[in-house]
C-alpha cells in the first residue's frame, strides 16, 4: 500500500490525546442534508474527518484510541443501492485502502461504542460538532453501568488538538492549495475578460451578476475543482458595499465597479480570492484613486506577513495605509478627525473599513486554528470599540501557515463624504503561504495592478 499522510495524522492525534490524559476519540463525517422533499444537498465530508481518513463517503465514523489503534464504521457494499448511488468501499476493503486497523458496518456503531467508551479514561469529540454527535453520545454513555469508582467518563474537546495539526500545512496540502488558487485566479481573469468583451461589443450593455457567476463556475469545473469553496460573491455597483452580498440579478453597467469574491475547492482544500474591476475596463478617476489606496494597503500587509511576525501585523500595516488614504481623499476630514494615529485611536476609519485583513485558509475557507498566542502574557490593545483592553498577543507566523490578505474600502452615501466616491466598494484579496523568508502569493494569476486589469479587459 502506498503511504498516505492520513495514518501519520492519526498517530499524531493519538499522541496528542495521550499527552492530554488518554482516551478515545469519536469523529463522524458530515451528515447528509435534505435540500427539498425528495433530494439532498451535494454531500461534502466533514473537514476534520477527511483530514484523518481521506474518505469521502457519507455515514462514516472514525474511532481512534490514544494508542493509535483506529476503527472505521462505514456503509457496507450493496449491489442494489450501488446501481443508484455508485460503488461503496465497504468495511472489507477499508483497512487496505485507508490504512485503518479495523473497519465495521455502520450498523454496528451503536453496538460497539458503549463498550469502547466504558473501557476508556475519557471521550474526545469536537465540541463544535455537538449537535451532530450529542444525541448518540448521550445514549452511549447511558448504556453502560456507572457503578464503578471512576465516576462519569470525562468528555474532552478534540477540536483544539486537530486545529493545531491543520494550521501548518505539509507539502502535499500546499500543492493542492496552489492548484486551487491557480484555478480560481483563472476564473477571476475569465470574468474580467467576459465583461470587457461584452462592453466593448455594446457599451450600453447590462450584464447580470448571475451571468458573471456562471463564468466563474464554468472555469472552476472545467479544471477539475469539485465545487466553489463558499457561495460566490459577485457584487455589481453599490452591492460591492455589502460585504457578503449574495450574487443575484443586479445589472452591472458601464462606469460601475464589479467586486468578485470567489474561490474553488479542490480535493477538500479552499481558495479565496477577491478582485475589483471596472465593468467596461476603464477605472474612473475616483475609482482609481480609491483602488490605489487599497492596493497600497495590501502591499503593506504583504510586507508584514512573514515568519516571526504576528498574524495581526498585516492588519495593522494595512489600516495605517487605508487611514492615510481616507484622510488624503477627504473621506475623513483631517480637521475633524486628526492625523492617522488619532483616527486609529478613535476607530473612525471603521465607517469605510470594518473587517480584518486576513484569516487562516485551508480545508475550510475560514480555517481552524487560534489567532491568539494563548501561552504568552496578555498585552494592552484596542478592542472593536477602540477601548484599551488586555488580550493575548496575536499568533506568531511560521512556515506552512496559509492565510488571506484582504484590505478594502466601502463607501456608502453620507453627508460628509464626497459624492464622487459614493457606492464604491473595493476589496483585493490574495492567498499567502508563509515561507522561510516571507510569503508566497499563490493567487496572483489574476491581475491586481489597475493598468494590468484594464489591459486584460481590452483583450
What residues act catalytically?
38, 244, 261, 272, 355, 359, 366, 406, 410, 427, 429
- Look at residues 10, 53, 9 and name the one whose alpha carbon lies nearest to residue 29: 53
What phi and psi, each to the nearest 5 degrees, are found at residue 47? -65, -40
In contact, 31 and 132? CB cutoff 8 Å:
yes
In contact, 60 and 75? CB cutoff 8 Å:
yes
Distances (CA, A) of 134 to 113, 123, 141: 14, 12, 11
How big is the chain, counted in residues?
Answer: 459
Give the SS3 label for residue 160: helix
Give the SS3 label for residue 155: strand
In contact, 216 and 234? CB cutoff 8 Å:
yes
Cα(151)–Cα(49) distance, integer angstroms = 30
301 HSE (CA, 13 A, CB side):
32
Cα(409)–Cα(259) distance, integer angstroms = 11
Give the SS3 label for residue 78: coil
In contact, 432 and 404? CB cutoff 8 Å:
yes
Cα(417)–Cα(286) distance, integer angstroms = 13
Q: What DSSP string describes 185-240? A: HHHHHHHHHHHHHHHHH-TT-EEEHHHHHHHHHHHHHHTT--EESS--EEEEGGGG
User: Ramachandran region of residue 95, left (φ > 0), alpha (ψ -120 to 50) or beta?
Assistant: alpha
Distances (CA, A) of 61 to 64, 125, 137, 165: 10, 12, 13, 20
Q: Using the 8-state DSSP alphabet, how is residue 323 labeled?
A: H
In contact, 387 and 395? CB cutoff 8 Å:
no
> What sections of 243-364 are H helices per DSSP?
285-303, 313-328, 334-337, 340-346
Report the greatest alpha carbon distance in the chain.
81
Amino acid at each position: 500500500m502506498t503511504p498516505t499522510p492520513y495514518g501519520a495524522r492519526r498517530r499524531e492525534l493519538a499522541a496528542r490525546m495521550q499527552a492530554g490524559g488518554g482516551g478515545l476519540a469519536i469523529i463522524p463525517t458530515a451528515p447528509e442534508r435534505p435540500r427539498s422533499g425528495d433530494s439532498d444537498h451535494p454531500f461534502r465530508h466533514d473537514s476534520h474527518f477527511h483530514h484523518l481518513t481521506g474518505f469521502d463517503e457519507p455515514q462514516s465514523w472514525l474511532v481512534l484510541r490514544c494508542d493509535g489503534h483506529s476503527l472505521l464504521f462505514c456503509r457496507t457494499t450493496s449491489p442494489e443501492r450501488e446501481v443508484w448511488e455508485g460503488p461503496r468501499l465497504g468495511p472489507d476493503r477499508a483497512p487496505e485502502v485507508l490504512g485503518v486497523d479495523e473497519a465495521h458496518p455502520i450498523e454496528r456503531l451503536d453496538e460497539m461504542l458503549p463498550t469502547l467508551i466504558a473501557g476508556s479514561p475519557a471521550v474526545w469529540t469536537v465540541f463544535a460538532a455537538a449537535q451532530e454527535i450529542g444525541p448518540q453520545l448521550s445514549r452511549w454513555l447511558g448504556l453502560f453501568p456507572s457503578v464503578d469508582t471512576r465516576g462519569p467518563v470525562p468528555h474532552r474537546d478534540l477540536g483544539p488538538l486537530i486545529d493545531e495539526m491543520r494550521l501548518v500545512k505539509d507539502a502535499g496540502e500546499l500543492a493542492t492549495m496552489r492548484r486551487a488558487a491557480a484555478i480560481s485566479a483563472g476564473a477571476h481573469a475569465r470574468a474580467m475578460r467576459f465583461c470587457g468583451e461584452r462592453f466593448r461589443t455594446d457599451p450600453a450593455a447590462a450584464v447580470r451578476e448571475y451571468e458573471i457567476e456562471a463564468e466563474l463556475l464554468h472555469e472552476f469545473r472545467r479544471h477539475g475543482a469539485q465545487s466553489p469553496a463558499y457561495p460566490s460573491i459577485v457584487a455589481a455597483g453599490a452591492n460591492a458595499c455589502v460585504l457578503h452580498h449574495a450574487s443575484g440579478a443586479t445589472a452591472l453597467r458601464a462606469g460601475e465597479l464589479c467586486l468578485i469574491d470567489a474561490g474553488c475547492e479542490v480535493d477538500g482544500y479552499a481558495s479565496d480570492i477577491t478582485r475589483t474591476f471596472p465593468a467596461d475596463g476603464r477605472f474612473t478617476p475616483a475609482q482609481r484613486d480609491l483602488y490605489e489606496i487599497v492596493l497600497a494597503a495590501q502591499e503593506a500587509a504583504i510586507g508584514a506577513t512573514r515568519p516571526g511576525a504576528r498574524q495581526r501585523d498585516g492588519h495593522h500595516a494595512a489600516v495605517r495605509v487605508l487611514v492615510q488614504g481616507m484622510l488624503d481623499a477627504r473621506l475623513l476630514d483631517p480637521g475633524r478627525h486628526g492625523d492617522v494615529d488619532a483616527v486609529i485611536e478613535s476607530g473612525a476609519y471603521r465607517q469605510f473599513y470594518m473587517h480584518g485583513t486576513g484569516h487562516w485558509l485551508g480545508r475550510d475557507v475560514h480555517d481552524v486554528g487560534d489567532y491568539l498566542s494563548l501561552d504568552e502574557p496578555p498585552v494592552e490593545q484596542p478592542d472593536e470599540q477602540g477601548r484599551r483592553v488586555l488580550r493575548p498577543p496575536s499568533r506568531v507566523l511560521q512556515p506552512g501557515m496559509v492565510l488571506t490578505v484582504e484590505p478594502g474600502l466601502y463607501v456608502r452615501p453620507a453627508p460628509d463624504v464626497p459624492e464622487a466616491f459614493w457606492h464604491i466598494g473595493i476589496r483585493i484579496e490574495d492567498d499567502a503561504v508563509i515561507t522561510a523568508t516571507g510569503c508566497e502569493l499563490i493567487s496572483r494569476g489574476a491581475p491586481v495592478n489597475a493598468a494590468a486589469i484594464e489591459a486584460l479587459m481590452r483583450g
